[in-house]
Amino acid sequence: MTPRPVLVTGGAGFIGSHLAQALVSRGHQVRVLDVLDPQVHSSNGSAPKTPAGVEMLRGDILDEDLLRRALIGVEVVFHQAASVGVGQSMYEPAAYTRVNSLGTARLMEQIAARGSKVEKVILASSMSLYGEGKYVCAACGPAAPPPRRRDGLIPGRWEPECPGCGADLAPAPTDEGKPAAPTSVYAVTKRCQEETVLVMGRAYGIPAVALRYFNVYGPGQSLSNPYTGVAAIFASRILNGAPPLLFEDGRQSRDFVHVSDIVRANLLAMEKPQADYQVFNVGTGRRVPLLDLASGLLGKLAPETELSPEIVGSFREGDIRHCYADIAKIRQALGFAPEVSLEKGFDDLAAWARTQRAEDRTGPANAELLSRGLLH
């Protein structure tokens, strides 16, 4: 396809840097705008990564002058820049709202401005906006439970209950039709970002696409950021000779999708007009209990170890129990199919993680949550 001038916001981050690399290798002219947040880009485990051939602009997504410069000549914007800690968003709500919600509004303001050449915006959205995923009750059928209540969680009733009969619900694949029901400020900002790009896109005739990433993992994930996703946190703990800590009973589950599959979904969203003005789940459709993630990574990173996953029984405010993707929509509309199996993905993450220096900072991060009443 014809090479295009593109902007990747957050292009030095975990997903953004893989995306920038893939775009460069396909001949596109890539500019990156990234603030190089020290929480993500610490000296250990995650050096700032700017792929060769990329033009790098460092700065804040709210800086209008910088945004104007970043958008000069650009035809496609991949908006990946965001603050990403679910737990942290609960005690820094204003900072998260500033970077994620206001940052997106400012970006769209510039994209919609006269003289802008932007023809498409692709947003890194998140499954977190669903809140709890879809469920089914053996007696009552499909169910959409409200957020779990603290008075049930404290005695360890982890599974959401059927609003009709009170029985434990079984998780079901979550499709894009599930109404948003955020349970964290982070998720609120992701919903806001999505609505902002879609509403502005429609009004100005600029095709917008929101990709709802499920739990992304892979090489390049910040191993020293205690607010990053659970796969990197577990890898970092294991490399430091500590057991992975499992909240609840470890049977909560997610859909872990390899970063290379996320990149492919972004490229399809750019290339295919069928993506325009749509939202899509990007996951694998495979439900993985956290306990299996912990054992799998232990097996790969420390096969001889006597360590085993430690179930702590506490829970984080804002965490959901289960969510995994129904990927029928993106499969049908864009021809997307995930290519990386969990086995291969774990190998890939482990091979990379072994070459890194990972600092395990989960202790202070969990202590912070505890002191604020956000870990019970």
Nearer to ligand UD1, 131 or 201 (CB): 131
Tell which positions 209-238 bind ligand UD1, by CB under 6 A.
213-216, 227-230, 233
Region near ligand UD1 per CB under 6 A, out of 11-19, 71-79, 81-89, 198-206:
81-89
Task: Kindly give the pairing relationship between strand 253-254 and strand 288-289.
Answer: antiparallel
Residue 300 Cβ vs ligand UD1, minimum distance, rounded to whole Å: 17
Size of the site for ligand UD1 (CB under 6 A): 24
Q: Which two tokens stand for residue 228?
A: 């990053």
Region near ligand UD1 per CB under 6 A, out of 14-22, 79-87, 325-333, 342-350:
79-87
3-class state of residue 149 by DSSP? coil
8-state DSSP, 13: S
CA atoms of 101 and 187, how far apart (whole Å): 11
Q: Does 127 bind ligand UD1 (CB under 6 A)?
A: yes
Region near ligand UD1 per CB under 6 A, out of 125-133, 137-145, 295-303, 337-345:
125-133
Nearest-5° Cα angle at 48, 129 to 298: 65
Residue 292 Cβ vs ligand UD1, minimum distance, rounded to whole Å: 12
Q: How far, in whole angstroms, is CA 7 from its chain's centroid?
A: 19
Amino acid at 59: G
Residue given tokens 């996953």 in the structure block: 309
Q: Does 245 bind ligand UD1 (CB under 6 A)?
A: yes
Q: How many residues does the chain have?
A: 376
Nearer to ligand UD1, 190 or 300 (CB): 190
- The end-to-end CA distance of the chain, in Å, is 52
Region near ligand UD1 per CB under 6 A, out of 25-33, 145-153, 198-206, 245-253:
245-253
Is residue 343 packed enough to be buried (19+ CB in 10 Å), middle (13-18) or exposed (0-12)? exposed
Residues β-bridged to residue 209:
122
Of the candidates 3, 100, 16, 99, the one whose C-alpha atom is nearest the C-alpha of residue 56 is 16
Taking CB under 6 A as the criterion, the residue among 21, 50, 126, 174 binding ligand UD1 is 126
Residue 213 Cβ vs ligand UD1, minimum distance, rounded to whole Å: 4
Nearer to ligand UD1, 128 or 278 (CB): 128
- State the binding string over 132-151 for ligand UD1 (x if CB under 6 A, else -): --------------------
CA atoms of 75 and 23, how far apart (whole Å): 13
Q: Does 279 bind ligand UD1 (CB under 6 A)?
A: no
CB 103 within 8 Å of CB 70? no
Taking CB under 6 A as the criterion, the residue among 96, 130, 135, 247 binding ligand UD1 is 247
CA atoms of 31 and 235, how far apart (whole Å): 31
Residue 162 Cβ vs ligand UD1, minimum distance, rounded to whole Å: 21
- State the binding string over 345-374 for ligand UD1 (x if CB under 6 A, else -): -----------------x------------
Residue given tokens 């009004």 in the structure block: 203
Residue ranges binding ligand UD1 (CB under 6 A): 84-86, 126-128, 213-216, 227-230, 233, 245-247, 252, 254, 290, 316, 319, 362
